């Protein structure tokens, strides 16, 4: 199957897509899937044309239709997204000390240490983890040691905290 996406005022995009049998609808159907990057096509129109071929590469069907890609009003709209913390929850508290970054929220504490993922999760005064979460890898038969390059808080608001961790690990991540 050949899929042609021709946006007005843009360059033609073509994909040759293999067809396969599918029973997802309960009956056997022949399906194909084309994926196009639609970035830069917002608020643009154009035509899509699909040509279907048999195994001898003889065209057996064709479909052509127009399209209009409009960004819905709700995309990137933050109306209705709360910026506060509704009761009974509590704002996120961020603390940093020698053992790492602590994120406290409503009876729970998430500790971010010098290992990937959480070093500890504590809820109602009970530790959930027997030891810190970790990532292990073997590359070319050799274990990779991940070295902590830092943890930083990217964003801290009463209702959300975003943090970033960086690690180095041989050829896996530099």
Residue 118, domain member (yes or no): yes
What is the CB neighbour count within 10 angstroms for residue 167?
A: 18
For residues 21 and 82, the model is more confident at 21
Q: Does the structure show a pLDDT above 60 at 174?
A: no
Structure confidence at residue 134 as a pLDDT band (50, 70, 90): confident
Answer whether residue 42 shows pLDDT above 90.
no
Same domain, 99 and 159: yes
Quick one: pLDDT at residue 172?
64
Please check whether residue 55 lies inside any domain of the structure: yes
Q: What is the pTM of this model?
A: 0.53
Domain that holds residue 34: 2-69
Task: Quickly state the pLDDT bin for 173 (edges 50, 70, 90).
Answer: low
Closest residue by Cα to residue 150 from 133, 136, 163, 139: 163
CB-CB neighbours of 157 under 10 Å: 12
Do 97 and 163 belong to one domain?
yes
Residue 29: C-alpha distances to residues 20, 25, 148 (Å) = 8, 8, 51
* Domain count for the chain: 2
- Is residue 173, in this structure, part of any structural domain at all? no
**Residue 46 domain-assigned?**
yes
The contacts of residue 103 (CB under 8 Å, 6+ apart) are 92, 93, 94, 109, 110, 111, 112, 161, 163
Least confident range of 68-72, 86-90, 94-98: 68-72
């Amino acid at each position: 199957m050949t899929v042609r996406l021709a946006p007005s005022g843009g360059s033609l995009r073509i994909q040759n897509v293999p067809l396969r049998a599918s029973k997802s609808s309960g009956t056997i159907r022949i399906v194909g899937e084309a994926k196009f990057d639609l970035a830069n096509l917002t608020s643009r129109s154009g035509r899509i044309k699909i040509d279907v071929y048999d195994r001898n590469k003889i065209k057996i069907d064709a479909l052509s239709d127009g399209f209009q890609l409009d960004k819905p009003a709700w995309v990137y709209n933050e109306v209705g997204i709360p910026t506060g913390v509704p009761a009974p929850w509590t704002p996120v508290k961020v603390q940093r000390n020698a053992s790492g970054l602590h994120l406290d929220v409503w009876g729970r504490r998430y500790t971010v240490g010098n290992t990937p993922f959480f070093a500890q999760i504590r809820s109602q005064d009970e530790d959930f983890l027997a030891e810190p979460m970790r990532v292990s890898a073997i590359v070319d038969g050799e274990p990779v040691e991940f070295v902590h390059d830092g943890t930083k808080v990217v964003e801290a608001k009463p209702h959300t905290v975003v943090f970033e961790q960086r690690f180095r690990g041989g050829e896996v991540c530099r």
